[in-house]
Amino acid sequence: MVDIAHQAAINPASANDATATRELVILASIEPGQWRALAQRAIEPNGYYLPGWELAVSATARDRTDASALPAFNGPSTRLIGLMPVISLWRAWKIPLPALVSAHPYGTLCSPLIDRDAVVEASTRLLQRARDAGAHALILRDVALEDAAMASLNEALGRSGLKPRVLSSYIRASLDATQDGDKLLYEALGAKKLKELRRQRHRLEEHGPVVFDVARKPDEIKSALETFLQLEASGWKGKRGTALIQDVGDATFIRRAVPALAETAQCEIITLRAGATPLAAGIVLRHQDRAFFFKLGIDERFAKYSPGVQLTLELTRHLCADPAIASADSTASADHPMINPIWRGRFAIGDVLIPLRRNDPVVMLIHAALIARGCARDATRRAIHLLRKQAKTTPPPAR
């Protein structure tokens, strides 16, 4: 059953579908120049699907390697007008049904790259490419539900009498960087909170002058990256074993991706220091007029002075002062306790099931399997939460 489903996800499903057979291609085979040109023309920015980033993810990142691709080309020409990195449904969630799932690029955004000069054609060809590969459905994970890329796919689906189904969604924080940074922070946090943060910053200054640095050039960003990696591993992520530097594949990916994007001015590392001591650091991607706040690491010895918040305040001012940036995606979880009070913009992120054929019973099976998986996952999370809560309240055994 598993082998059949795997083959169905990569081969044409029928003779009719095979009239223009185009199997999935290896993501690494997409010509980088074409990919970069498409990214420049993309109707919706996605820093995590830039070639320098996603190729590094697919090469070595933990549980994210060897992605395939659905490419779309402009008619008989070879101009790339659409790109959707994908993996099989079996590989994503061990569900043996013929569907493709957007490849997760580490950052929580999988909106495909669609050419703004060929919106409907690119979307239509991406969907057809998936059909030609034998898929009955596409599952897009973590897509911006109301932005231009999803709207273009909706239009292409509508022309075929199809409708997407939102499987799950949440609201994520974003920054309107067209505003004055200090005014925005005052409106978001208020005078009392800002006064408390200034007091904490003064306490940090007891350890040396507090300085905000931005590393952009490839030769300076490598050193800043190592500072970030050490800070991230020194905190709770290190204790859980999920820090980037703790996995060989993840460490290789990030050390490849960051300098590669720095070469095209699409990545920077921000650092807050007190004297020579790094307090907090973060990785920020840039694509077109949007920034993406990837990860944050702090020195938890200074936690009571809110170094992560202090760094985010400086990042807010930095982005608002940059005329090239109009908005920033926090790429954070729903109700994130640190970023949500500071960045007050909101937009909807979700997982979407896209049927590829009308009245297809296989799509119903896929939908049911995804619902069952979600229920099982929620039950597991509740059980883990309960166990952790009990562990905190149960007294240790007497000795």
Write out pLDDT tens, residues 39-55.
Answer: 999 999 999 999 999 99
Provide the β-strand partners of residue 173: 346
Closest Cα partner for 233 from 175, 290, 291, 281? Answer: 281
Cα-based distances in Å from 55 to 40, 60, 61: 17, 9, 10
Could you tell me which residue, 8 or 165, shows the higher pLDDT? 165
What rounded mean pLDDT belongs to the chain?
91
Question: Is 397 a residue whose pLDDT tops 50?
Answer: no
Question: Is 390 a residue whose pLDDT tops 80?
Answer: no
Q: What percent of the chain has pLDDT over 70?
A: 89
pLDDT tens digits, 117-146: 999 999 999 999 999 999 999 999 999 999
Closest Cα partner for 60 from 293, 244, 298? Answer: 244
The lowest-confidence range among 1-5, 32-36, 357-361 is 1-5
As a dihedral over the C-alpha atoms of residue 123, residue 124, residue 128, residue 130, rounded to 10 degrees, the angle is: 20
DSSP 246: G
Closest Cα partner for 218 from 253, 251, 267, 254? Answer: 267
If DSSP codes are grouped into helix, strand and coil, which group holds residue 117?
coil
**Which residue, chain included where needed, has tokens 């050390």?**
255
The lowest-confidence range among 67-76, 124-133, 322-331 is 67-76
Mean pLDDT of the 325-351 span: 97
pLDDT of residue 12: 36
pLDDT of residue 391: 59
Question: Is 348 a residue whose pLDDT tops 90?
Answer: yes
User: What is the Cα–Cα distance from 342 to 201, expressed in whole angstroms?
Assistant: 17
pTM given for the model: 0.90
Token pair recorded at residue 161? 């009498």
User: What is the Cα–Cα distance from 71 to 240, expressed in whole angstroms?
Assistant: 37
Specify the DSSP element, H or E, that contains 203.
Answer: helix 181-204
Residues 6+ apart with CB under 8 A from 353: 137, 138, 139, 164, 165, 166, 167, 363, 366, 367, 370
Mean pLDDT of the 184-198 span: 98
